[in-house]
Structure 1
């Protein structure tokens, strides 16, 4: 399950990610709570903040993949970590000084999105250089486990910290956490990296070349379409759990942090289960997409806070199984010299479509209640997965997938 950790460079990378991701999740909770405080509980403002953070991915996300293919990924990551740490520091100073306004949060969220444009595809495509092709699926799953392990701890700590000392110190902790990633990147051995492809020299038309490559691959297009629909409408938990905690169950910041933690517990379990698999399975990816939509609908219908928390766990398992399988499927099926650009497109549909989805979900929550916003996202995810199954999978395989759903549901309940 942990075979990728046998690689020294990857151990350094993963160790830094544990610290940095914990800080990042702490900041996400604190940022959402700061916006809600500044706007007196506006779901629209929360949706705008989330949308602005991901808007740069929509505008410039594809260029991030070009940068990943052109330059040393290790050096690019060091630059992006410094930039993101500086933005967290600024927000912390403003919050502690008592001068933070909602437009400050909007602006800094947009700046974080600009850094993420380059960081995400570079980080995704750097994994294979650390571990090689054979251990790539395992490393992707462990990255997700690291991310969601921090997601378990970070929101819980942040919820308590916000209640005790306010949002400002949480932002400063996140700013300091980026130092762990920088130290890990600096300590890596260049000679141990797997240079699976030569860097692409600067030339005109490289972005169009990447788009043409994906357009010519029907299998890649269908995976990206499915990821886009689920990410846009089904993965707005940062927004919906905050609104459910505050507006439906009338709880405080600590309850919001606990809801985020329960989702992360499921996601961590899903990532660890994915790490056990030697190679990604298209069948597993499609099953997980359907189950995610079903569990999200059920979570939105839960009558009590505690039953809502319980349903977040299988929702997280299904979501992480889907995302890790989709990620590995794409990376292992593309030409090495195209990996950065394909992952740039993947991150574009995975996160860059959020500026459309987050404000819509926030508006739905404000007009019709947070429950409907979650249920609608789950229904759209289920419909998108079903449509891709019909297009991608032969009828006989569809029958096998449907027959295996009861066993999968039993496993999720267990």
Structure 2
């Protein structure tokens, strides 16, 4: 028996077992397999993302057009995200996630062939990103909601934090490899490696033991279920306040695929290696921050607000850095701040949401965090083109700090509850 598979010591409760280790959730075989597949796939995903951004800059030499390409990836989420969450609540999440991984692999393979043949132009690149976004409508809520079916409630905050940490560890590898490969061989190998990476997720999903899962009761088809999900969030402060912060930062702050290429190329005159280094340094900071986050037993609106303020201040420091080495040092801290904010927001919303609402809650979270890019990426890209990349990054930093301060004020009237009612009722 593996050390990770060993049961908790006799006499200990599930909560006690969860505190035995920062990586307690990895004792669970299904979760361990799932995270292994996800970590490998995210390396490929980020290689594709970096390559797409670099290709868009090569084709257009415009921050606004780079923002347009980035926005195209998230437009379907903005338009259809809530419906995607409802589909997840109604269907088997593992089967749905397996299907999305197959579709992702096909999309990446098509992009590989077109890039190799030299046929990719801006309109075609936008169309391919729209297809990617359409698949993400179902993939993102299914992927995040599935975690609650792999671990028990006591392990859920730890599992979400580990997920963020391992994903960011993979992101540390992906951008760095992408920068090296693009400089030596171009963007096509990045697309090819991304295609291959989806095999890891598909294999891990097929290997999950159904008997050890904790399936959520599926939602019965009825009218008005999307409206019911939105109303549920609006009347639940533990969901509404984090959601406001996620929407503001998702639109204006989490636009690093736009701001960092502009900063590294226009301000510091670095090539693809500089962009890859910036993304890799951020991911390294996220990994370091993740090791602190995994030890947290819970999150609150107040702690999330504080992390938003600190994160915003760090982004402003990166924007004002006088040279690339100092900018990279600041981005290391920005990465740490990003995982603290992101993981805390996910933990709050997944533990506060009723199980039958979780797919819709996660999808509405995704609309803000990812779909907000449809508005934010072109806006921030236009700011970068008109006023300089530093201004574009400052917009995001100030937005995060401002919404954090606002929610700190609001949260004073909300009682602090470490384990929300919805979580206790599971």
Calculate the TM-score normalised by the size of structure 1: 0.93
- Residue number among 314, 320, 333 corresponding to 1:314 in the alignment: 333
Q: Which residue of 1 aligns with 2:398?
A: 379
- Residue number among 194, 203, 214 corresponding to 1:183 in the alignment: 203
Work out whether 1:32 is the aligned partner of 2:64: no
C-alpha distance in 1 between matches for 2:353 and 2:161:
19
Q: Which residue of 1 aligns with 2:14?
A: none
Work out whether 1:277 is the aligned partner of 2:293: no
Work out whether 1:223 is the aligned partner of 2:242: yes
Seen in structure 2, the aligned counterparts of structure 1 residues 202 and 159 have a Cα distance that, compared at 3 Å, is same
Q: Deviations over 1:325-372 (max 9, x none)?
A: 111111111211111111111111111111011000000000111001
Q: Deviations over 1:68-107 (max 9, x none)?
A: 1100000000011011111111111111111111111101
Work out whether 1:343 is the aligned partner of 2:368: no
Q: Which residue of 1 aligns with 2:182?
A: 162
Work out whether 1:138 is the aligned partner of 2:171: no
Q: Deviations over 1:130-181 (max 9, x none)?
A: 0111111111111111111011111010101011111011101101100100
Quick check: 2:238–2:348 contact (8 Å CA) kept in 1?
Answer: no
Higher deviation after alignment, 385-394 or 242-251? 385-394
1:219 Cα offset (Å): 3.1
- Residue number among 6, 10, 16 corresponding to 2:37 in the alignment: 16
Work out whether 1:84 is the aligned partner of 2:100: no
Q: What is the aligned residue count?
A: 395
C-alpha distance in 2 between matches for 1:56 and 1:330:
22
Higher deviation after alignment, 220-229 or 210-219? 210-219
Q: Which residue of 2 aligns with 1:129?
A: 149
Q: Deviations over 1:196-226 (max 9, x none)?
A: x311122222111111211221332111011
Seen in structure 2, the aligned counterparts of structure 1 residues 393 and 254 have a Cα distance that, compared at 3 Å, is same
- Residue number among 295, 303, 309 corresponding to 1:290 in the alignment: 309
Seen in structure 2, the aligned counterparts of structure 1 residues 394 and 217 have a Cα distance that, compared at 3 Å, is closer
Q: Which residue of 2 aligns with 1:256?
A: 275
Q: Which residue of 2 aligns with 1:409?
A: none
* Unmatched 5+ stretches in structure 2: 1-21, 417-426
Q: Which residue of 1 aligns with 2:387?
A: 368
RMSD over aligned CA atoms reads 1.4
Higher deviation after alignment, 207-216 or 244-253? 207-216
Q: Which residue of 1 aligns with 2:12?
A: none
1:231 Cα offset (Å): 1.4
Calculate the TM-score normalised by the size of structure 2: 0.91
C-alpha distance in 1 between matches for 2:188 and 2:208:
33
C-alpha distance in 2 between matches for 1:371 and 1:216:
38
C-alpha distance in 1 between matches for 2:301 and 2:230:
22
C-alpha distance in 1 between matches for 2:208 and 2:395:
45
Work out whether 1:147 is the aligned partner of 2:167: yes
C-alpha distance in 1 between matches for 2:415 and 2:189:
56
Q: Which residue of 1 aligns with 2:345?
A: 326
Work out whether 1:103 is the aligned partner of 2:123: yes
Seen in structure 2, the aligned counterparts of structure 1 residues 199 and 263 have a Cα distance that, compared at 3 Å, is same
C-alpha distance in 1 between matches for 2:323 and 2:181:
25
C-alpha distance in 1 between matches for 2:152 and 2:413:
33
C-alpha distance in 1 between matches for 2:191 and 2:239:
38
C-alpha distance in 2 between matches for 1:319 and 1:165:
31
* Unmatched 5+ stretches in structure 1: 398-414
C-alpha distance in 1 between matches for 2:320 and 2:341:
22
Q: Which residue of 2 aligns with 1:406?
A: none
C-alpha distance in 1 between matches for 2:265 and 2:351:
42
